[in-house]
Amino acid sequence: METKTTVIAPEELQKQAEICGEIRARWAEAGRTPRAFVDTYGCQQNEADSERIRGYLSQMGYGFTDQEEEAQIIVLNTCAIREHAEQRVFGNVGALVHTKRAKPGQLICVCGCMAQEQHVADKIKQSFRHVDLVFGPHVLWKFPEFIHTLLTSRGRIFQIPDEAGSIAEGIPVVRQDKVKAWVSIMYGCNNFCSYCIVPYVRGRERSRKPEDILNEVRELVAEGYKDITLLGQNVNSYGKDLDEPMDFADLLEQVNAVPGDFLIRFMTSHPKDATQKLFETMARCEKVAPVLHLPFQAGNDRVLKVMNRKHTIEQYLDKIRALRALIPDIVLTSDVIVGFPGETTPEFEDTLKVLEEVRFDALFTFIYSPRVGTPAAKMDDPMSREEKLANFNRLVALQDSISEEKHAAYIGKTMRCLVDGESGDSRYPLSARTPGNRLVRLTGDPAVIGQFVQVKITDANKWSLFGEMA
């Protein structure tokens, strides 16, 4: 397996920047400010990619709109993790046929993880002829070149390269938020959990250089960002492919040393790579938020083995105990899949036992969805949809009661929270986050958005906390 990271040469990116300039000049000559509509599905990695797509679009002279019918260019940045996400994308792509009919010359682009799947590209080629451009995440850096070709010649472009992936530094970024920012520290995944499409569409693990990450963090802090999330499919294996290997805990320590008043978060972690060193670093670094998202997926060892998760539930619980010994008030969240092929109801009940034992603050729960090309999609799956749904409902009900109890325990406490925006609720007009990232709906003046304030928690339900400025 290729482990060294391929970095796109700066000259190549310079060429893309020049193409952006040419496109901008074309629009300026025509005396128009074109508009772009960018729609993002799925995870934070996709959000981060959309910020780069917006960066490129902005350099090409495009402004932005949230109305498809006003846009000269539409970009759908898609997610392939579950079938439901894919169906939504197909539904929305289908509907764009009318938008395009009303606006000839409109460019429709589909990118992201779905675009990297051959069967999806084939379907778009045959059944969605109004789509002009399909490109996978590996070639996002060539987006300006694709748009230039579409604007200057006829035809459609399908770019889904079969390669391990690369790293491109220096793509422009237009961020969506002024308080919270994503920083990708690595791309791809080598774990091949048997249900998961990510390693097939995002390629092998590759790490950005620490200097590049630290420079980006310094810039964000200088711009006033207060909440920085380090992103990767499996951040705990950061650095293994670097010329001078370092691990994620070392990186965390270096990010923590960047001067300024800001919080550091990270996701996602794989239990097999979450080490005692990482926990000690989290405990020691004052800017690292006291929260860990550590997916366990299933509570039964047989199921974990077939999922190819490479750890047992006892090993998982040991890590949670070790972490709690160091950071007693750590906020813990996790991902769980219900109805993995062959999982029986007694095996599913082992998942409930893990919930009772760990008492997560929040849980992201999914019903297994077969993904073409993954090993699990070929496994026998005898359990009925109804039984899976019944198990899923039991899981959600148990977690709801735990979340509600955990939230109730905050009432009366005063804590330093980051006010991150407006909530849309007239009684509690502000939205804030506790250090552990629990949502707080807050009374107060919007002038404090972007600041850390002391908040007294006055009420709670299973979804959020409510508070006032102390």
Residue 371, binding choice from ligand SF4, ligand 5AD, none, Cβ under 5 to 8 Å by partner class: ligand 5AD
- For residue 303, give every residue at least 6 positions away whose Cβ sits within 8 Å of its Cβ, in sequence order, or none: 340, 342, 343, 347, 350
Which range touches ligand 5AD (CB under 6 A), out of 142-150, 362-370, 395-403, 409-417?
362-370
Q: Is 233 in the site for ligand SF4 (CB under 6 A)?
A: yes
* CB-nearer residue toward ligand SF4: 23 or 363: 363
Question: Which residue of the chain is nearest ligand 5AD when measured via CB?
Answer: 335
Closest approach, Cβ 329 to ligand SF4, in A, equals 27
Q: How far is CA 144 from CA 15, 21, 116, 246, in A?
A: 9, 10, 18, 34
Closest approach, Cβ 356 to ligand 5AD, in A, equals 19
The amino acid sitting at 139 is V
How are beta strands 227-231 and 414-422 bridged, if at all?
Answer: unpaired
CA distance 187 to 411: 39
Task: Tell me which DSSP letter residue 329 carries.
Answer: T
Q: Please list the residues that pair with 297 across neighbouring strands.
A: 336
Helices first, then strands: H and E counts in the chain: 13, 19
Which range touches ligand 5AD (CB under 6 A), out of 122-130, 209-217, 361-369, 406-414?
361-369
Q: Is 263 in the site for ligand 5AD (CB under 6 A)?
A: no
Q: Is 425 helix (H, G, I), strand (E, B) or coil?
A: coil
Q: Please tell me the count of residues contacting ligand 5AD according to CB under 6 A.
A: 12
* CB-nearer residue toward ligand 5AD: 245 or 373: 373
CA distance 103 to 320: 55
- Interface pick for ligand 5AD out of 52, 82, 100, 311 (rule CB under 6 A): 82
Task: Return the number of other C-beta atoms located less than 10 Å from residue 273's C-beta.
Answer: 18
CA distance 162 to 118: 10
Q: Cβ(242)–Cβ(3) under 8 Å?
A: no
* CB-nearer residue toward ligand 5AD: 83 or 422: 83
Residue 199, binding choice from ligand SF4, ligand 5AD, none, Cβ under 5 to 8 Å by partner class: ligand SF4
CA distance 309 to 69: 45
- Interface pick for ligand 5AD out of 19, 38, 73, 81 (rule CB under 6 A): 81
Tokens of 143: 């987006």
Closest approach, Cβ 367 to ligand 5AD, in A, equals 7
Burial 362-373 (b: 16+ CB within 10 A, else e): bbeebbbbebee
CA dihedral 407, 409, 413, 418 (to 10 degrees): -20
* CB-nearer residue toward ligand 5AD: 364 or 463: 364
* CB-nearer residue toward ligand 5AD: 111 or 196: 196
* CB-nearer residue toward ligand 5AD: 62 or 200: 200
Q: Is 354 in the site for ligand 5AD (CB under 6 A)?
A: no
Q: Cβ(171)–Cβ(13) under 8 Å?
A: yes
Which range touches ligand SF4 (CB under 6 A), out of 135-143, 196-204, 275-283, 379-387?
196-204
Q: Is 270 in the site for ligand SF4 (CB under 6 A)?
A: yes
Closest approach, Cβ 131 to ligand 5AD, in A, equals 25
* CB-nearer residue toward ligand SF4: 354 or 460: 354
Q: Is 368 in the site for ligand 5AD (CB under 6 A)?
A: yes
Within positions 370 to 389, which residues make up the interface with ligand SF4, using CB under 6 A? Answer: none
CA distance 252 to 262: 13
DSSP 19-82: HHHHHHHHHHHTT---EEEEEE-SSHHHHHHHHHHHHHHHHTT-EE-S-GGG-SEEEEEE--SS
CA distance 21 to 406: 53
* CB-nearer residue toward ligand SF4: 295 or 435: 295
- Interface pick for ligand 5AD out of 59, 297, 399, 434 (rule CB under 6 A): 297
Task: Tell me which DSSP letter residue 281 carries.
Answer: H
Which range touches ligand SF4 (CB under 6 A), out of 192-200, 339-347, 379-387, 439-447?
192-200
The amino acid sitting at 464 is S
Which range touches ligand 5AD (CB under 6 A), out of 248-256, 306-314, 366-374, 417-425?
366-374
Q: Is 295 in the site for ligand 5AD (CB under 6 A)?
A: yes
Q: Is 196 in the site for ligand SF4 (CB under 6 A)?
A: yes
Q: Cβ(201)–Cβ(188) under 8 Å?
A: no
Closest approach, Cβ 49 to ligand SF4, in A, equals 15
Strand boundaries in 199-244, DSSP class E: 206-207, 227-231
Residue 251, binding choice from ligand 5AD, ligand SF4, none, Cβ under 5 to 8 Å by partner class: none
Q: Is 371 in the site for ligand 5AD (CB under 6 A)?
A: yes
Q: Is 409 helix (H, G, I), strand (E, B) or coil?
A: coil
Q: Is 189 in the site for ligand SF4 (CB under 6 A)?
A: yes
Residues near ligand 5AD (CB under 6 A) are: 81-82, 195-196, 295, 297, 335, 337, 366, 368-369, 371
Residues near ligand SF4 (CB under 6 A) are: 189, 191-193, 196, 198-199, 233-234, 270
